[in-house]
């Protein structure tokens, strides 16, 4: 067993852009997100090809292309709306304090409410462009940590606890 490491503490003031970043990553790293993009691009291409072949009028071609654009744009727009709605939850109305230690993760809300997550609950940990996200089993939630909230020391400490308490096959942080 590894030698104990001191707890790492992190204060997070959540913003919609961080939740949006995690939602985008989640959506477009799945087969469904890929299929949505393919469907949108197919509608755009179909409109152009069918017009070029003389099988559709210019209006019909534009309708196909508009449909493709709507399909492609709808997902990010709905995810942005979802992120903004999520920010209205009480948990995000103040600073959230996290402590990473050998026993798990302690989460303390500005309201004083506290939660404990065992390392065994981490289904996977991923790196997105703006965040580190821990998908939690059982809790049905995702813990989102903005990269901007970490200092170098806090990041090293949090990652030490993650890497020493979670199976490496569940960690997708590079």
pLDDT in tens, 12-43: 999 999 999 999 998 988 898 899 999 999 99
pTM across the whole model: 0.84
- The whole-angstrom distance between residue 21's C-alpha and the CA centroid of its chain comes to 5
Q: Give the pLDDT confidence score for residue 161 in this predicted structure.
A: 95
Predicted confidence (pLDDT) per residue in 54-110, tens digit: 888 899 999 999 999 999 999 999 999 999 999 999 889 999 999 999 999 999 999
Q: Give the pLDDT confidence score for residue 174 in this predicted structure.
A: 79
Question: What six digits make up the tokens of 138?
Answer: 């059982």
The residues, any chain, with a CB within 8 Å of residue 12's CB and separated by 6 or more, are 95, 96, 97, 98, 145, 146, 149
Instruction: Give the sheet arrangement for strand 114-117, strand by strand.
Output: 8-12, 96-101, 104-108, 114-117
């Amino acid at each position: 067993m590894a030698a104990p490491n001191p707890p790492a503490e992190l204060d997070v003031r959540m913003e919609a852009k961080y939740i949006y970043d995690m939602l985008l990553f989640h959506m477009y790293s799945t087969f469904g997100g890929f299929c949505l993009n393919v469907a949108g691009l197919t509608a755009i291409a179909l409109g152009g090809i069918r017009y070029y072949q003389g099988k559709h009028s210019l209006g019909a071609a534009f309708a196909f292309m508009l449909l493709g654009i709507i399909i492609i744009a709808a997902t990010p727009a709905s995810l942005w709306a979802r992120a903004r709605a999520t920010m209205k939850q009480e948990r995000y109305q103040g600073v959230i304090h996290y402590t990473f230690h050998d026993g798990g993760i302690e989460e303390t809300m500005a309201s004083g409410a506290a939660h404990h997550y065992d390392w065994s609950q981490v289904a996977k940990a991923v790196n997105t462009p703006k965040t580190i996200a821990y998908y939690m089993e059982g809790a049905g939630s995702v813990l989102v940590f903005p990269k901007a909230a970490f200092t170098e020391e806090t990041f090293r400490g949090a990652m030490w606890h993650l890497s020493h308490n979670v199976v490496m096959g569940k960690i997708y942080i590079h």
